[in-house]
Chain A
């Protein structure tokens, strides 16, 4: 098992190198002089020349890329053009906020998605089922930043239940988490329903009924447990998106996370922050997907056995 995980982790390295190479190349195309960005408007030619050297911009592309990688591994992502702080510090200061928001959104999406999907499947073709299926269709088709704005209009501006943009306590988390999690909620609902409809027809579910179990126990303990693998897969993928793709929603709610940091950095043309953020987010996305893969094992003894066989 550990060997298997290690091997999968090793396979991440070329992917992450590739991602960083692509992003680094894209960023290198950015028009404008980074030294100028860094120094501001007033600088001497000597200052420009020494800063060019200090930033290593006189070196060829591939050398710059390799030194970026080398430094990044040591946790050095460079200096922000705009704040002149270390990029890593800037990101670490904001990351917990994004993590809290993503976890809250995922928790909401998984909990509500599995409940809605399960009731839908258990009462297939009922009014509840058609309503929740249609709502899920709307949910996947809705731009989350627009939904966020609508939540602000109704619950913050209208009813005044929640703050719209202050960043304070649990109350300020509610609306952004719902806005961010709703797409995932819809996707998880659909996946739960279709996956459960499949397992509900299996023979072992009939066996469970024949034992005299209560219907909800049959559904939850026997059918849902077997339907979990695709649900976990989709939830894992969603977590990847929530944590790395939550760029726009943080802007809507003025949430001080790394998504908003990215937008701010783009507006300020702060290339080191943009570059590092994209690489870090893509890395997190990949690592979360790997984590999802490993999570399967806890739900299906057959896959657990395979992992054991491979790892041994």
Chain B
């Protein structure tokens, strides 16, 4: 668009950003590919995701993961049981692989909820009147004053340990950072020309939020979401470890650590490997998150 013409509704405002977005994605991908650590994170994560997806092909849930086998209690790592067996004779590798099917979907769900709810709150706060903004942000400050794990513990302790309550607890604890990020993005772009232009052609507030503001605050939200999923996996494990999360016999990683605790003097592998699974998942998410941040905002790097 070399010539200055008033863009007709469909050409100027819809097609152009689409094109721009595509080339942006390509250049972000190119920058991400250059970052070896981020690529390593992506590969580890894909590997974990794939084994989780095909967990049932690898190990049968009922016979291997849940069924107790007294004859094979506390076996050290061997050719038959690569990572050994636990106090009830179950194969640890099988339980870890199936454990990914618990932690990862829950973590994604909690952060999806937190992103949507937090994002909406932030958009309303940034786009709304000063009074609305102040009110919402003060409430967010209060939530931020409670460490996430403590808030989750309080919520689960009150509602009782269950999958649903775990989801609610971790989602709520993760809302404030998303509200803050989206609000900041909204404030920084709400006065830019294309928003004014949209307003001038009669777009209403909701349309502006969905069409312009949310796509424009995507980058920091994606980075935060990646890092928060890592945090969420840690919280799920911690809550399960103290008996407030996923309950046995489900093969949740934190619950496995908790179950194996009494046996660490004789069977180190019960505790060692589930923890390594948690660490690898979180490490790869952190690597990917850091890489995404650098790729999305090259200015910030160094």
Contacts and interface: CB of A to CB of B under 8 A. Distances in A.
Interface string B218-243: 00000000000010001001100111
B139 interface: yes
Nearest to B141: A15
Contact of B279 (A22, A143, A244): A143
A142 B277 CA distance: 10
Nearest to B270: A149
B149 interface: yes
Contacts of B282: 141-143
B158 A27 contact: yes
A61 interface: no
Contacts of B274: 146
Given A27-B158, A245-B147, A245-B149, A149 B279 contact: no
A119 B234 CA distance: 30
A137 interface: yes
Interface stretch (B10-18, B184-192, B260-268): B260-268
Interface in A211-257: 240-241, 244-245, 247-248, 251-252
B142 interface: yes
A22 B149 contact: no
Contacts of B275: 142-143, 146-147, 149-150
Contacts of A266: 153, 157, 242, 244
A150 B272 contact: yes
A23 B287 CA distance: 34
A282 B154 CA distance: 11
Contacts of A15: 141-142, 145
A282 B149 CA distance: 11
B299 interface: no
A157 interface: yes
Nearest to A283: B145
Nearest to B157: A266
Contact of B283 (A28, A137, A247, A251): A137
A18 B139 contact: yes
A282 B150 contact: yes
Given A157-B264, A157-B265, A248 B241 contact: yes
Contacts of A240: 147
A29 B168 CA distance: 14
Contact of A251 (B142, B242, B268, B278): B242
A29 B150 contact: no
B35 to A, nearest CB: 13
B50 interface: no
A240 B145 CA distance: 10
Contacts of A19: 142, 145-146
Interface in B60-86: none
Given A18-B139, A247-B149, 7 more contacts: A137-B286, A143-B237, A145-B257, A149-B264, A150-B275, A247-B238, A278-B146
Interface of B: 37, 138-139, 141-143, 145-147, 149-150, 153-155, 157-160, 230, 234, 237-238, 241-244, 254, 257, 261, 264-265, 268, 271-272, 274-275, 278-279, 282-283, 286-287, 302
6 A-B pairs with the lowest CB-CB distances in the bound complex, closest first: A146-B275, A18-B142, A141-B283, A141-B282, A266-B157, A282-B146
Interface of A: 14-16, 18-19, 22-23, 26-31, 137-138, 140-143, 145-147, 149-150, 152-153, 157, 197, 240-241, 244-245, 247-248, 251-252, 262-263, 266-267, 274, 278, 281-282, 285-286
22 contacts: A19-B142, A19-B146, A22-B142, A26-B155, A26-B159, A29-B158, A31-B159, A137-B283, A145-B241, A146-B275, A146-B278, A153-B271, A245-B147, A247-B153, A247-B238, A247-B242, A262-B153, A266-B157, A274-B154, A281-B147, A285-B145, A285-B150
